[in-house]
Amino acid sequence: MKWKISEDKKKSIKRYYVITLLVTGVIVVLFNDYFGKQEGFLEFIALYFILLFISVAYWVFKQIKSIIRLKHEKEKTEIMHLKSQVNPHFFFNMLNNLYGLVDEDSKKAQALILKLSDMMRYSIYEGDKDTVLLSEEISYLENYIELHKMRYHKTIDVQFHKDTNNTDYEIMPLLFIILLENAFKHGVENLSTNAYVHIHLKAHNNQVFFEIENNFDAIDTEQQVAGIGLQNLKRRLALVYPKKHNLSLFNNNGIYTAKLNIKL
């Protein structure tokens, strides 16, 4: 069986090693008159201080490395927690709609189940990754739009314009869905007629620009408030794209616009 030294034991050995060097140095200084007469004393002193410097420098390096690693792990854990908060109310609402559709329109319910399962798969498996292809994120948004079209009994003007020569860009998953969710939740949900959601996605020169505009009931003040979803999005952007993103939100006479620009 291979013999392994525990981490605590390793730390104890390192502390003992450093303490030994320090004690040796103190003894040398205290008995300088005696040691100074010995041959090779200066060489010994030089070697001692070199070893002491290397030991201290190594210890400082390990401490800094440990702090950076802990900070990275903390940020990664926070990102995973934020991702887990995305979409729970959407899936809950869709399941409620499915319950009513099963007897009313079984074929429509089956089609809705397939799209919903595809979205859940993406949220669970792809959403757990650090990055996904832009093309995958686009497909996820398109499925979300199709599901909403299927569940509403009213006409909605939904337009999704894509302008890109490269959908292989890698981005953090589940970024745009929060803005799209807000457009439907605070806009389409509360308008009986003339509801619209217009989306523009542009990807060029290692930059992704996402803009979404929707109308809403001016009496509904919720769209004017930065809810948990937007706070979630802002925090994730700050952690993953620090100083490489810009999120702008505009509210003007019943028209809400969100613009997100990311430098990859």
- CATH assignment of the domain containing 169: 3.30.565.10
Tell me the three state secondary structure of residue 211: strand
pLDDT at 153 > cutoff 80: no
Task: Give the pLDDT confidence score for residue 256 in this predicted structure.
Answer: 92
Average pLDDT of the segment spanning 94-112:
78
Closest-CA residue to 245 (of 166, 142, 172): 172
Under the banding of pLDDT at 50, 70 and 90, the label for residue 11 is low
Cα radius of gyration (the chain): 30
Q: Tokens 């990055």 label which residue?
A: 131
Q: Is residue 189 within 8 Å of 218, Cβ to Cβ? A: no
Confidence band (pLDDT; 50, 70, 90) for 101?
confident
The pLDDT of residue 152 is above 80: no
pLDDT for 1: 39
Q: Is residue 137 part of a domain?
A: yes
- Residues 82 and 232: beta-carbon distance below 8 Å: yes
Look at residue 254 and tell me if it is in a domain: yes
Q: For residue 174, how many other CB atoms are within 10 A of its CB? A: 23
The reply to whether 150 and 172 lie within a common domain is: yes
According to the model, what pLDDT value does residue 5 have?
44
**Judgement on whether residues 161 and 250 belong to the same structural domain of the protein:** yes
* Cα separation values, 53 from 41, 49, 101, Å: 18, 6, 74
Most confident of 132-136, 164-168, 175-179, 217-221: 132-136
Range of the domain at 45: 7-84
Do 220 and 130 fall within a single domain? yes
> 233 and 83 in contact (C-beta within 8 Å)?
no
Q: Indicate whether 80 and 110 sit together in one domain.
A: no
What mean pLDDT is predicted for residues 233-243? 87
Across the chain, what does the average pLDDT equal? 77
- Residue 179 in contact with residue 247, Cβ under 8 Å? no
pLDDT at res. 37: 53
Residue with tokens 């303490």, as numbered in its chain? 19
- Based on the fold, state whether residues 199 and 116 are members of the same structural domain: yes
Contact between 147 and 115 under an 8 Å Cβ cutoff? The reply is yes
Q: What is the DSSP letter of 253?
A: T
Prediction pTM value = 0.67
